[in-house]
Amino acid sequence: MKALLEHLGLDVVVPPYSSKRTLSLGVQHAPEFACLPLKINLGNLIEARELGADAFIMAGGVGPCRFGLYAQLEKEILYDLGYTYESLVLEPPDMGILKFLKEVRQIIGTVSWWRVWQSVRIAYRKAYLIDELERVLQELRPREVVKGTADRIFSFSLSTIDRAKNNDDLNEAFGLAKQKLLHVPTDDNQIILKIGLVGEIYTLLEPFASLEIEKKLGYLGAHVNRSLYLSEWINEHLFHGFLGKKNMNRQFKDYSYPFLNHFVGGHGQESIGASVAFAKEGYDGIVQLAPLTCMPEIVAHTIFPKVTKECGIPVLTIYLDEQMGQEGVNTRLEAFTDLLRKKRALLDPLRTIC
Ligand code: SF4
């Protein structure tokens, strides 16, 4: 988003990385029953205001979960707190393409549509290359000799990709980061588990919200693959495959039908479909992440016992909220990966694949 808006000539204020302070600001002012992403976002908006932001853009939404309400709620809470913020709610194109274009025009002012398209292309390419690096990172975490080496290279590469102003800079930053990652020393004589990470989009993509569960699983010896990567989601859900070729192996909704055959809001249906697909690919287990009270993921959670029974894949569900502690999560992940190792050693030949 930063790349997109800067390319359009707008001044962007990026709030600090989400932290305990961010969450605490959100928890203080949001309704207790609101989902975790709303609380963190509210904290982000307060911190951005402190840094001088005077307007924010928030996605709207349609569908059975509460997301569509959140932009309005955030606006009203900030107003009540006395923050003078301009705000713009960008409703999805499905609500009417003309309305959507009118809202975009309000943000971009007189900038031409050609420039908008170029900005979308460079922003999408940044997201795509970061996802490519993340896939390499996910392979390296369980194998690297000194834990954390690949993560340090990745964090550094985020800033070089951020600074890239055109495709040449971007390719150079990406190529350098990938080369560095490929030279990280690894120990290849160990059993690597394969774990699919599924669930609600925000907790899947924002490490702070999930207490860095993806990284922890990697350090516990698991090669993690997520059901959702940001660039894939942008291309397939916002641009219907217009920015790049769809990955037909990852059309997870299609796999959900025997278990759940309709949209339940958020990514509940994809969570089921991706778990079935991962089971078919021989993964050892699934970890489902969801903010506490997340309706679509609660629906998926109730269906998982059937997926486990028919596909022979264990599922660990972790609900996240402001009460979660690091140690509790670590213990559950350690126990889960230990059990998966034992299961692989004892039961593999008997495994049922749906
Ligand atoms: S998908 Fe879940 S966490 Fe996100 S807004 Fe909907 S209910 Fe809340």
| Model confidence pLDDT, tens digit, residues 218-228 | 999 999 999 99
For the whole model, what pTM was predicted? Answer: 0.92
Question: Closest residue (by CA) to atom 1 of ligand 1?
Answer: 266
Q: Check if 268 has its Cβ closer than 6 Å to any atom of ligand 1.
A: no
| Model confidence pLDDT, tens digit, residues 146-169 | 999 999 999 999 999 999 988 999
Instruction: Report the mean per-residue pLDDT for the chain.
Output: 91
Q: Check if 319 has its Cβ closer than 6 Å to any atom of ligand 1.
A: no
Ligand 1 atom at minimal distance to the Cα of residue 202: 4
**Residue 350 pLDDT > 60:** no
**Residue 99 pLDDT > 90:** no
| Model confidence pLDDT, tens digit, residues 262-303 | 999 889 999 999 999 999 999 999 999 999 999 999 999 999
Looking at CATH, the fold of the domain delimited by 190-354 is given as: Rossmann fold (3.40.50)
Which residues have CB under 8 Å from 298's CB, separation 6+? 290
Ligand 1 atom at minimal distance to the Cα of residue 293: 7
Q: What is the Å distance from ligand 1's center to 264 Cα?
A: 11
Where are the alpha helices (H) located in the chain, listed in sequence order?
2-7, 20-29, 36-50, 67-80, 97-108, 113-140, 149-163, 167-182, 201-205, 213-219, 230-233, 253-256, 268-280, 295-311, 326-347
**Residue 172 pLDDT > 60:** yes
Residue 103 binned pLDDT confidence (cut-offs 50, 70, 90): confident
Domain range annotation of the chain: 2-111, 116-141+144-187, 190-354
**Residue 1 pLDDT > 70:** yes
